[in-house]
Structure 1
């Protein structure tokens, strides 16, 4: 098992994802059965790029095949360097590309080379004290076979296989009303901003249609270190850009009170062709890892 100290040493400056990093996995809706594998779209990684293992106990294989011999198992969050892309393939319910990668051995020895399937890789890796227990957890985001964004949080000082908690969140489709899956960007929201540390996932296709912002929390056992907590969907907000109809929102936090303030703006076209704008204000209070909509909350 990789120690937390070694895990930190592997992270270095690569822990924070690039500001323009995007992860996508999508396919059109099929009238019958599963969509054609050729119709899938997904993020492609390039030679020389450093990405991360988005699953725990991932198999690094000697060949680009699901039954290839296992060279090494890699823990969630392990950085790997892409050497080259292999063939597009369907493995289980996933369609993606095989990649030859170089990974740092858990014992700090020379890098080891092997093949991993693209659905196990991610540009998103975060290291932070997510549950306030004084220890650093590792969080990654990959796409599930149900076209959702899957957030995984690992407790480095807990032994496998029960050291990871995960939660799936919705992703806005790139094909308005006719597709599944889409792009997602992720950033860390620090406790000083929100009162608790959160992961914010934004899914907003370039073309008109639905978009969604989700906040994911990770809460432990009353701050007790070395105990696996639980990842939760803390808050989910949806919007629409379908001119002339629009539904947008702006989120701000009251860190001391652990509240989320949401201002929604809805623009609808009236029969006379003139737009009507309605603004609403919502307050959400933090409790047990979730922001629940509050009633009769005094204004700050």
Structure 2
């Protein structure tokens, strides 16, 4: 039973709870349910699940307040939001408050299971990396990655380990950094090096998208391209530079990544998460390089009386 992954589904609609269960349960997850944030918070305190999937608009305690409570209590349980059209501003606020990601209700069938699996992988990698010793005050390290997406969680786990040695991020911030890095590195591989359009995700439950990725991983010139990932970290901040070898893109053609209205747009989802979770984001090289910075909270200094 220790290997069973428990997911708490929170929604005031019984129909919606059944839908979420029908997506997640066949994948082997144990599903528990709650009908509002109050019930969910009590459950998380008593029986912490590995993950919470929650609606935003609910009576008694909505999804935003639930995210805030879980974050403030440092319960270390990642939360995924399910968002409906019209809830963009609240969803963006919840991401800032500590939610790990979101899935538009219009795309639950395509995106929910993939998002759940990815967050659980990243959360496990974060949990397994314990602080080593008081060692480093700064570090710069660079990796050159192939287009194998299965390497990304292990890389992020290594990055988390380094951040724990040097910086002062809490668990919520570590999870947000992991999500932003995952989006940026996968974007560099799939959309940069392999030149696969996210529009293919909308066709036949995304199968053409997966087929095109598999095809181009073994096809020249795509298979020879690499993603360079550089980490620069000090006590005060971490800067992540990701550069692909694709043709780049026109930034003006991409939806405004800071506009919450793009929560429901498939193509802008990754950039919105990146811009929400990082303090500074810059694009260079005609879209082939992204530089992201996350500042560290100051460590309180105890003054002896």
Q: Tell me, yes or no, whether TM beats 0.5.
A: no
Task: Report which structure shows greater RCO (CA 8 Å, sep ≥6).
Answer: 2
Output the TM-score relative to the length of structure 2: 0.31
More helix by share: 2
Output the TM-score relative to the length of structure 1: 0.31
